[in-house]
Structure 1
């Protein structure tokens, strides 16, 4: 295995656990944090003061920050891994743009999941807007069923790695590969991104159902219909329907919808129990990206004219932002018109054409996928 110099941006739950994994894989790892307390704690006690607090991080990890690293420092990195929440990613990339050499970019890996509120942009588009088309075309996206707590315990974990450049996806897989951590590669980053973002919204729906006291029939049926919705929205964006059968698709969906370790599931469960959203957010202790993503997804669904084939996502939005109760959402969903077709793949829609244009790529022929 080739040893690489890796800079991880973002010392939250997932960024920290991946830094731990990569350092344990003998790479040289730097972990950038915006908090001086986190930097000092990692460097002196090898403990994180907020996340994975019982875990001893490898002494080889060097935490840096809160100042951004210099251009000279970043020029020595082989890999930049971004574990920054989607809503803050655009500013983060703009902040480091002038510190990157466009002619000699390191391997860029993104593990955030979400849709940018307001712009409805995927991470692929944010990269193109900030770092340029060339960076977007070679950026890689890692996603799949991967709770941070289990990664640091070296529980066997398997994920999807996708890029428009399969060569870069393979390089990312090699960086992460260990007997306890396997990567499967693909070339559909749009599908992987959408699956990773949308499953957080659907985890809220699953939590709501459990919070209302519904049991196994409801859970199995709901998760299956969530998968159908994800696939329809993704295919309208130009994604492959097969991506939603991958680790990044059904794998991550199943994990997030069926575990109380999921922050998004927890938000839904507490909503189902009758708690108010502002109280849940204030006491959750970490970010549940599905809450913000539900807004972006609602805007996307409106733009696609897809309300009819994404009722679960619309129901979650109505509970979070429309004043609907969890019980009202449940009754509304179960009283949708009868005899609806179970599986259907829509035509590609305008957002797909816009993404391809932004990337400087030719859109594939439209029509049924």
Structure 2
């Protein structure tokens, strides 16, 4: 029986662990909270994140990282972006003790690290040496934990430069309601996964300000253009952004009340302040952190991203929402034909 370690007992980590148990694998879910771990083991629930769901009794959880990793075939990271580096360092310390283990590393976290602008797979590859692991695989796409736990139809992308590792991950996850497609464009998959969270905050803001479907469609479409331009500037294949980890994830995150990013934006549009929103959410809102990284990356790559930049100003400079909307609408007219070309700073959107 395949053993898989899942790091992160939030909603997505718990649901993916539960899915892998459903597929017949031995899964150990690692979390930091003793009460949460005990609840999973004894009551087979995780009510803080999944209040209406029951987990499979075979799913076991622990706060002991060494025990979680012992004898594992794969390690799945599902911790918030800001915790990825520290957790990867702890994992590397444990793997150093058993160098013969060499698990496949999977990440289902969607974000970019502040200050370094690094993608999740880059952080993990840097912190966990190649001699301690097999390939690094990225799992991404349109997926709400609240729907996956109900066996709703879901299709995702699994991306890696290591084809055998990607194929293996595809195989262990797939069943009659959860389907994966492989992709070797790791950069494109991760950039799309991260930046769509920023655009989703914008979609929530638009809804909170009572703008209609026309505005929402415009924001999503032009947001996708920004995501694509940034991805291409970093070496991604533009076609990736038309796939599940680009357009697919953008649609689901920008249109669903399940999306924490959308809900945060909607609350902002209704006049609430960001600190209050984040405190009430009680869970990571990745787009807030990614907005800062997107701002820094756009400067570093000399790419113009007006929607993302306006969202950054709202989040970090307390800019007026409607003023930012007007500023975007009054930009100089531009052709739509060059969506994929990285546009230099100073060119109009």
Q: Shorter-chain-normalised TM-score: which range?
A: over 0.9
Q: What is the TM-score with the length of structure 1 in the denominator?
A: 0.89
Paired position in structure 1 for 2:216: 219
CA distances 1:274-329 after superposition (whole Å, capped 9, x unpaired): 1111111111232110001101111000101112xx11000100100122111111
- Residues of 2 paired with 1:177 and 1:186: CA distance? 15
Instruction: State whether residues 47 and 53 of structure 2, in contact with CA within 8 Å, keep that contact through their aligned partners in structure 1.
Output: no
| C-alpha spacing 1:255/1:347, structure 2 compared with 1 (3 Å) | closer
CA deviation after TM superposition for structure 1 residue 138, in Å: 1.6
Q: Secondary structure at the match of 2:156?
A: strand
Contact preservation (8 Å) 1:80, 1:106: yes
DSSP-derived class of the 2:65 partner: coil
- Give a deviation string over 1:195-215, Cα, whole Å, max 9, x none: 110000000011111111111
Q: 1:17 to 1:143 in 2, by over 3 A?
A: same
Q: State the distance in 2 between where 1:254 and 1:327 align.
A: 23
Deviations 1:178-226 (A, max 9, x none): 0000000010111111111000000001111111111111111111111
Q: Among residues 81, 87, 112, which one is paired with 1:86 in the alignment?
A: 81
Return the alpha-carbon distance in structure 2 between the equivalents of residues 328 and 281 of structure 1: 23
Number of the residue aligned with 1:21: 19
Query: Out of 50, 53, 59, which is 2:51 matched to?
Result: 53
Return the alpha-carbon distance in structure 1 between the equivalents of residues 182 and 329 of structure 2.
38
Match of 2:245 in 1: 248
For residues 137 and 52 of structure 2, the distance between their equivalents in structure 1, rounded to whole angstroms, comes to 31
Match of 2:150 in 1: 153
Give the whole-Å Cα distance in 1 for the aligned partners of 2:82 and 2:113: 5
Q: Distance in 1 between matches of 2:130 and 2:326?
A: 46
- SS of corresponding position for 1:69: helix
Work out which of the residue numbers 187, 191, 209 in structure 2 matches 1:190. 187
TM-score by length of 2: 0.94
Q: 1:99 is matched with which residue?
A: 94
Alignment check: 8 A CA contact 1:107 1:168 kept: yes
Q: For 1:231, what is the secondary structure of its paired residue?
A: helix
Equivalence for 2:327: 332
2:205 pairs, out of 186, 205, 208, with: 208
Does the 8 Å CA contact 2:103/2:134 hold for their aligned counterparts? no
Name the structure 2 match of 1:121.
118
Ranges in structure 2 where 5+ consecutive residues have no aligned partner: 345-349
Q: How many residues align?
A: 342
1:103 Cα deviation after fit: 5.2
- Of 124-133 and 231-240, more deviation after overlay is shown by 124-133
1:281 to 254, 278, 281: 278
Q: Deviations 1:227-263 (Å, cap 9, x if unpaired)?
A: 1110000000001001101111100000000111110
Please give the root-mean-square deviation of Cα atoms over the aligned residues, in Å: 1.8
- Aligned twin of 1:262: 259
What's the CA shift for 1:137? Answer: 7.8
Which segment is superposed worse, 336-345 or 137-146?
336-345
Partner of 2:347: none
Question: Which one of 304, 307, 310 corresponds to residue 315 of structure 1?
Answer: 310
